[in-house]
Chains A and B, each alone.
Chain A
Amino acid sequence: MDPAFIVVQALSGLANASSLFIISSGLTIVFGVTRIVNFAHGSLYMLGAYLGITIVPRLLDIDRTPTMFFAGVLLAALAVGLIGVLMEVLLLRRIYKVPELFQLLATFGVVLIVQDLVQKIWGPVDIAGPRAPSLRHGIQIMGQRFPAYEMFLLFVGPAVLVLLTLLMQKTRFGVLIRAATQDREMVGALGVNQAMLFTGTLFLGAFLAGLGGALQIPRVPANGHMDLSIITEAFVVTVIGGMGSVPGAFVASLIIGLLQAFGILIFPKITLVLVFLLMAVVLVVKPWGLMGRPEATANRAVLPEGILSLKPFGTGERLVAALVVVALLAVPLMGDAYKTKVGIEILAFALAAFSLNFLVGAGGIVSFGHAAYFGIGAYAAGLLVVGPLKLPMEGALVAAPLAGGLAAALFGYFVVRLSGIYLAMLTLAFAQITYAVFFQWAEVTGGDNGVVGVWPSAWASSRSVYFYVVALLAVAAIVFLRRIIYAPFGYTLRAARDSANRADAIGIDVRTHRWLSFIVAGAAAGLAGGLYAFSKGSIDPTLISIGMSVDFLMMILSGGLQTVMGPLVGAGFFHAIKDFFMPLTDFWRFFLGLSIIVIVLAFPRGLVGAVDAGREALAHRRAG
């Protein structure tokens, strides 16, 4: 290969790395101090770009100089910093002490809200930004042209690193941030106003995100997809570098930038896969990233966020379960085709949600990418029916859980080696890989359009009959999973969740048991996906998107993580609400985001949890 080409390719990789570092450093600093993985960091980046294309041209109209250009970029970044302050004061401050799953969901709620706001203010069309005066030319490098602006960007990242290092090492603010990264309560007890410190940190983090976004405007037009695409990359960088470590983020950005620059030459379609594979390998070798440190585990015995004591069904519960099953069987008899369709969807989602709570509630494995297994099940079923094999529905419904289980076996092998936020990030990364593969491999999967014509076999082609097929399989799978929770295997999972040390010290192979549970849950989600595929007749990549994974999490959350049956209630509730409201408004993402935040703040124990708490309080009052 031409050496000049390699040099230019490397330089452009480094320029990308530099941009990536500016954004990721903000994410990692905010995580270090607040312990919150801020999903909305990508939204702040997007706002930086939009504010950039709004402010910078106005300033350039006054005077077409580099000074005006960069003044505009800085103004945009400062404005985003203030938005970060607003976010800290209004939301983050209220969720510092809630479990990380809730934090992730709440900040994802902000992502949804910002998406709709941006669309409302700036419209759905991409907006190209102005180019930087004096940096519009190209530089000749070994006979190749290299854009001057890229060359400039290449130096911004290292400059930010130097400034951040000075800030962290030489100023009192920096010392306090580093102290708070380790023990924020103690910092408060020593007389430091934590609220100010946290607000300051959010300003810094959001400023960096905004700066990263505003600096992009000469390179890429501002668009509504910038948030999620950058946040995934920034997550990967912070995870590889070690969450909370600024130098780690720098090293990881360099690696990722170069990997992308050269990966695209070798595997043009799967650079994203390469990046995620790198992340998986790094985490297996160094579970806390290159320069991260183990998360401090609570020394006290805290009750885990998940299923606690298991009580077998009493007479009341049995009665309710029987009524629910009877009501279910009656749905198609009402003769409303639309209700039957919604019923099928709820059943499929109920199984998926139940399988997720099998992981989260019983195993303490907070998967942020459960949609992957649901989607893989759906695609497996769909492609087998429509593809060259032309398998009947029956065969496809056997293949769906197998495919889900296989994928879970592969991804789970890496996932169960981690814990906490790193585990959540890796599950998310695997889901994004899956999404990328199905999205980009258009020859087989139909890409964005997906697969159409996925219909049940002739005997089950009537909606009512298919409803009963789904009801039978979903209920059977749920009953089986519930049985496992009450069986020694389920107890072993809870034991490993409550105290991995203790479980290990009584001979339990924690990793293997967690892996097996991941496979079981993946298979169940795969079955759910297969059932869902035949109800719609078509499949597309949204089934694997982050949004879908979040929907599943919202179902178990609104039902109640602590309960065994709650996810079923949550699935019914969540899907019914979404189905009802979505057609009514153009702002459904805004309202969905808002309701996610409200649920996290107001009903952290979910609907069934709230009912249980009410019953306990009543019993308490009677006893007292």
Chain B
Amino acid sequence: MLLSVQGLQKRFGGLVAAKDVSFDLAAGELLAIIGPNGAGKSTTFNMVGGQLRPDTGRVMLAGEDVTGLPPRLVWRKGVGRTFQIAQTFVSMSVVENVQMALISFHERTRDLTADATSLYRTEALAILDGVGLTEMADRSVSELAYGDVKRVELAVALASEPKLLLMDEPTAGMAPRERAQLMELTASIARARKIGVLFTEHDMDAVFGHADRIVVLVRGEIIARGTPEEVRADQRVKQVYLGETGVQAALKARRAAQA
């Protein structure tokens, strides 16, 4: 198993943000965590990524215990991530963003003399090619449309050849078509390179169109899990999260995915 999350628990003051959260994720698989706002999705996510330390429970990555490691060390173990609001180096160009990730990957961040703009540029351009950003390589990230910034983030996350990708609301703030394109791109890369993808999302097309399995969190607890079909048919999920429109949207997304 690539990722095994076992009994994670986290309290903030009196609030239980996550309670006995457990799930597994295989290489090349896409697992979605869904649930209402404030259900503990981000908390769970941040415990896997190292931004938060769980009160109890374990996070195992390829058999190795990574619980409580800081994000930079979790990253060294092969975990790339993207953020709900894209986090990039806004003062740099697109290719420099990826070069920065490569400089870190090759442990050269303390180099005081080399010329950073030419370092790993070829490799960075190859990665940009993989996400279709070659033409924008030398533009400043601050000038890009948001959909493209999200792809820059994906390229940066892929630079370290991760085993696992964590994507927090990858399509938030994007137009419908951009959403579909980003999810298709992510799914194809994940399957081709056997990368596991754990993502949270509110967009029903992204969830029901691309996830292999879905976990539903409500008030910090998993109330349902399974294939998209199983989750869509679950009455409790319909009641507390999907509602009538959500079920309709899910159905449509499944049909489109299977067509």
- Contact for A495 among B86, B100, B119, B142, CB less than 8 A: B100
Is A414 close to B, CB under 8 A? no
Name the residue of chain A whose CB is nearest to the CB of B106: A488
CB distance from B32 to the nearest CB of A (A): 20
Is B49 close to A, CB under 8 A? yes
- Of the candidates B49, B85, B93, B104, the one having the most CB atoms from chain A within 10 angstroms of its own CB is B104
Q: Are B88 and A488 in contact (CB under 8 A)?
A: no
- Residues of chain B contacted by A301 (CB below 8 angstroms): 85-86, 88, 90, 141-142, 149
B-contacting residues, A375-410, CB 8 Å: none
Q: Are A506 and B142 in contact (CB under 8 A)?
A: no
A303-B90, A309-B140, A502-B88 are known contacts. Are A492 and B104 too (CB-CB below 8 A)? yes
Number of interface residues of A (CB under 8 A): 37
- Of the candidates A300, A497, A505, the one having the most CB atoms from chain B within 10 angstroms of its own CB is A505
A-contacting residues, B36-91, CB 8 Å: 49, 70-73, 75-76, 80-81, 83, 85-91
Is B105 close to A, CB under 8 A? yes
A309-B140, A491-B100 are known contacts. Are A486 and B87 too (CB-CB below 8 A)? no
Is A617 close to B, CB under 8 A? no
B-contacting residues, A453-505, CB 8 Å: 483-484, 486-492, 494-495, 497-499, 501-505
B-contacting residues, A303-344, CB 8 Å: 303-304, 306-310, 312
Query: How many angstroms from the CA of A299 to the CA of B140 in the assembled complex?
Result: 19
- Residues of chain A contacted by B70 (CB below 8 angstroms): 504
Q: Are B91 and A489 in contact (CB under 8 A)?
A: no
Is B251 close to A, CB under 8 A? no
Is A3 close to B, CB under 8 A? no
Is B156 close to A, CB under 8 A? yes
Query: How many angstroms from the CA of A301 to the CA of B88 in the assembled complex?
Result: 8
Query: How many angstroms from the CA of A495 to the CA of B93 in the assembled complex?
Result: 12
Question: Would you give the 0/1 interface string for B187-208, flagging 1 where the beta carbon is closer than 8 Å to chain A?
Answer: 0000000000000000000000
- Residues of chain B contacted by A505 (CB below 8 angstroms): 49, 71-72, 75, 80-81, 83, 87, 157
Q: Are B76 and A309 in contact (CB under 8 A)?
A: no
Q: Which of A94-102, A159-167, A288-296, A508-516 contacts B (4 or more CB under 8 A)?
A: A508-516
Q: Are A507 and B88 in contact (CB under 8 A)?
A: no
Q: Which of B3-11, B108-116, B225-233 contacts A (4 or more CB under 8 A)?
A: B108-116
- Residues of chain B contacted by A310 (CB below 8 angstroms): 117
A506-B104, A507-B104 are known contacts. Are A498 and B86 too (CB-CB below 8 A)? no
Interface size class on chain B is: 35 or more
- Residues of chain A contacted by B221 (CB below 8 angstroms): none
Query: How many angstroms from the CA of A452 to the CA of B92 in the assembled complex?
Result: 48
Query: How many angstroms from the CA of A488 to the CA of B104 in the assembled complex?
Result: 9
Is B159 close to A, CB under 8 A? yes
Name the residue of chain B whose CB is nearest to the CB of A306: B91
- Contact for B90 among A499, A504, A516, CB less than 8 A: A499
- Contact for A507 among B72, B85, B92, CB less than 8 A: B72
CB distance from A564 to the nearest CB of B (A): 12
A487-B113, A489-B111 are known contacts. Are A502 and B72 too (CB-CB below 8 A)? no
Q: Are B110 and A508 in contact (CB under 8 A)?
A: no
- Residues of chain A contacted by B140 (CB below 8 angstroms): 309
CB distance from B164 to the nearest CB of A (A): 13
Query: How many angstroms from the CA of A487 to the CA of B114 in the assembled complex?
Result: 5
CB distance from B243 to the nearest CB of A (A): 27
A301-B88, A491-B100 are known contacts. Are A502 and B114 too (CB-CB below 8 A)? no
- Residues of chain B contacted by A306 (CB below 8 angstroms): 91
Is B96 close to A, CB under 8 A? yes
Name the residue of chain A whose CB is nearest to the CB of B79: A505
Name the residue of chain B whose CB is nearest to the CB of A301: B90
By a beta-carbon cutoff of 8 Å, the part of chain B in contact with chain A is: 49, 70-73, 75-76, 80-81, 83, 85-93, 96, 99-101, 103-105, 108-117, 119, 140-142, 149, 153, 156-157, 159-160
Some 30 contacts from A to B, beta carbons below 8 A apart, are A301-B85, A301-B142, A302-B90, A303-B91, A304-B90, A310-B117, A312-B117, A486-B115, A487-B111, A487-B113, A487-B115, A487-B116, A488-B111, A488-B114, A490-B116, A491-B100, A492-B109, A494-B89, A498-B88, A498-B89, A502-B83, A502-B87, A503-B89, A504-B70, A504-B72, A505-B80, A505-B83, A507-B160, A508-B72, A509-B72
By a beta-carbon cutoff of 8 Å, the part of chain A in contact with chain B is: 299-304, 306-310, 312, 483-484, 486-492, 494-495, 497-499, 501-509, 513, 516
* 5 extra A-B contacts, CB within 8 A, seeds A486-B117, A506-B75: A300-B85, A487-B114, A488-B111, A507-B160, A513-B109
